Amino acid sequence: MTIGWYLAVSALIFAIGAGGVLVRRNPLVILLCLELMLNAANLALIGFSRMWGNGDGQIFALIVMVVAACEVTVGLGLIVAMHRRRLPIDVDEMRELQG
């Protein structure tokens, strides 16, 4: 099986994730979509790793997972904080940084 299929699946998942980030308003779902994008990248990395036959890509994938874990921690923490302060769970409502 050529690398093309792996990359196609990866690209598809990345596009789904990116589309989710752009269209959904619930921060929880946005986080999930972000995870999709990261894992699409992981899939591509592992595909490349297999193609070249060395482990560099896998190590990258592991690191991405660590970063993703950190990011989820921070992101979920933010969502919990929003919930506690009874703020709306909607990213479009949170626009105080408007210039």
Partner 1 sequence: MSATTAAWLVLAAPLAGTIVIGALFHRLGGRAAGWIGTAAIAVSFVFALITLAKVQQHAPGQRELTSTLWTIAGTTGVDARATILVDPLSVLMICVVAGVSTLIHLYSVSYLQGDRGYSRFFAYLNFFVFSMLLLVLAGNFLLLIVGWAFVGAASYMLISFWYRRTTATSAGMKAFVINVLGDIGLVLGTFFIFRHTHTFDLVASFHAAPHVFASGSGDVTAGCLLLLVGAFAKSAQIPLHTWLPDAMEGPTPVSALIHAATMVTAGVYLIARMHPLFQLAPAAGDVGAIIGALTLLIAGTIGLAATDLKRVIAYSTMSQIGYMIMGVSIGAYTAGLFHLMTHAFFKALLFMAAGSLISAMGAVQSLDRMSGLRRALPFTFASFLIGGLALTGVPPFSGFFSKDSILLFAAGRGGWHWALYVAGYLGAFLTGLYTFRMIFRAFLGEPCPEAVELIEHGHVFHPAAPVNPANGEVEDTDVGFPGPDHVIAERALPMRAAMSVLALLAIVGGIVSIPKTTSWLDHFLAPTFADSTLTSHSSNGLLYFGLILGAAISLASIAVAYVVWVARPGLAPAIAARLPRLTTLFENKWYFDEEIDALVVRPGAWFGRFAQNTFERVIVNGLLIGGSTGLVRAGSALVRGTQSGILRVYAGMMLVGIAGVGLYFLLQS
Q: Give the DSSP per-residue string, 7-73.
A: HHHHHHHHHHHHHHHHH---HHHHHHHHHHHHHHHHHHHHHHHHHHTSSHHHHHHHHHHHHHHHHHH
What is the dihedral angle through the alpha carbons of 37, 40, 44, 47, rounded to the nearest 10 degrees? 160
Q: Are 2 and 33 in contact (CB under 8 A)?
A: no
Give the nearer residue to partner 1 in terms of CB position, either 22 or 66.
22
CB 29 → partner 1: shortest distance, Å?
12
Q: Which of residues 30-49 bind partner 1 (CB under 8 A)?
A: 30
CB 99 → partner 1: shortest distance, Å?
3
User: Considering the rule CB under 8 A, would residue 83 count as an interface residue with partner 1?
Assistant: no
CB 75 → partner 1: shortest distance, Å?
12
User: Considering the rule CB under 8 A, would residue 91 count as an interface residue with partner 1?
Assistant: yes
CB 22 → partner 1: shortest distance, Å?
5
Tell me the residue length of the chain: 99
Question: Given candidates 3, 7, 16, 21, which one binds partner 1 under the rule CB under 8 A?
Answer: 21
